[in-house]
Amino acid sequence: MSGGVDSSTAAALLKEQGYDVIGISMKLWDYPDDINRFGGCCTLDDINDARRVADKLDIPFYVVNMEDVFSKEVVDYFVSAYLKGETPNPCLKCNQILKFETLLKKAVELEADYLATGHYARIVYNDLSKRYKLLKGVDKDKDQSYFLFTMTQEQMSKIMFPLGSLAKSDVRVHARRFGLKIAEKKESQDICFVSGSQYHDFIAKMTGVYENSGDIVDRDGNLLGKHSGLYKYTIGQRKGIGIAAGKPQYVVDIDAKNNRLVVGSRYDAFSDGLIARDINWISMVSPELQMDVESKIRYRHKGVKSVVKPIGEGRAEVEFFSPECAVTPGQAVVFYKGEEVTGGGWIERRL
């Protein structure tokens, strides 16, 4: 229970359905004094909101301290990824490690049969294949299946998504019906430990590195200017590069090894495919041959028809049917067959 309307309503629905419900909140991030101002959500106020909902529902409520694992597995990952020239996805890492590994283990220790969350996605069991399938949420605008591609069969056997078949508007209706004061609570749009565009300052505070200047070059290596730190840029970025080239320039590569920012035309920002690592196949074992899928290369990406081909060592090559802009190392590529998530991995490089 995060203190938001989704997890609160999920708890209320499960109790209404006759489940014996226990509420758990994660205490994730105790801000150092000099970076308190960067906080987004998951605050003590949110935990108190969750506690009030639990009181309203008359269910037991626990707060689990996960500050150490969150700091190591999410915050440190976030900072180090940017320093390596990648664009991290901390929300996906939080789901993978905090919720469906660490918190699930805690739930089992509390003798819970299932861990339920407020995600907009669905899990179904296929009697023919004897495997669980991960499906998109019914609400297309809220579908969060992209963030769940790392889930394993064992985890899915113990996970429930009560909101997967509901629209967000229906969830708020239920929250009002249950008399929950958080029914109209706004959703956070920021990373939970850093707000908006302040992540540059956050990284500088966490590392003590406020400027690490290097060259801005074109794809032929011609010097165009200077940057003040590669972590301030992401693939496909056009605004704020800081050079006057007479025509729009886009970030097409972040060369962390040589501390160089490579820019080019919008055409240069397109790719024919990518290589992904740490592939997880959900409803199948790793396919031996290539497979037609729809690939999403970021959360709000519409998806592109693709061919995915395993290349060994947990890696895969993805070929797009048509070039895509801003293939970004560090982000996830997730594979779909219609409503089903077949698998996904972490983008290593573009082709």
- Reported as a pLDDT band with limits 50, 70 and 90, residue 212 is confident
Q: Is residue 94 annotated as part of the catalytic site, yes or no?
A: yes
State whether residue 304 is helix, strand or coil.
strand
Mean predicted confidence (pLDDT) in 75-90: 93
Per-residue confidence (pLDDT) for residue 186, from 0 to 100: 84
Q: Which domains does the chain have, with CATH numbers?
A: 5-118+162-197 (3.40.50.620), 211-265 (2.30.30.280), 270-350 (2.40.30.10)
Q: And the tokens for 315?
A: 């890696």
What pLDDT, on a 0 to 100 scale, did the predictor assign at position 36? Answer: 47
The pLDDT tens digits of the residues spanning 163-201 come to 999 999 999 999 999 999 999 988 776 677 776 567 888
User: Which of these, 308, 300, 314, lies nearest to 335 by C-alpha position?
Assistant: 308
Residue 243, Cβ neighbours under 10 Å: how many? Answer: 14
pLDDT at 42 (0 to 100) = 64
Q: What is the DSSP letter of 110?
A: T
Please name which of 26, 53, 60, 54 lies closest in space to residue 183, comparing C-alpha atoms: 53
* pLDDT confidence bin for 273, thresholds 50/70/90: very high
d(CA 173, CA 286): 42
Q: Which of 41, 91, 192, 325 is catalytic?
A: 192
Torsion, Cα 146 149 153 159, to 10 degrees, reads -40
Of 31-40, 78-87, 129-138, the poorest mean pLDDT is in 31-40
Q: pLDDT (tens digit, 9 = 90+) per residue, 4-16?
A: 999 999 999 999 9
What single-letter DSSP state applies at residue 194?
B
Record the pTM.
0.93
Nearest Cα residue to 121 out of 102, 100, 90, 103: 100
In the structure encoding, which two tokens stand for residue 214, read together?
Answer: 């290097």
The per-residue pLDDT of the chain, averaged, comes to: 91
Catalytic-role residue among 41, 42, 91, 94: 94
Q: Are strands 315-325 and 304-312 parallel, antiparallel or unpaired?
A: antiparallel
**Known catalytic residue: 42?**
no
User: Residue 20 burial by CB count (10 A; 0-12/13-18/19+): exposed, middle or buried?
Assistant: exposed
Q: How confident is the model at residue 338 (pLDDT cuts 50, 70, 90)?
A: very high
Tokens representing residue 78 in the block: 């976030």
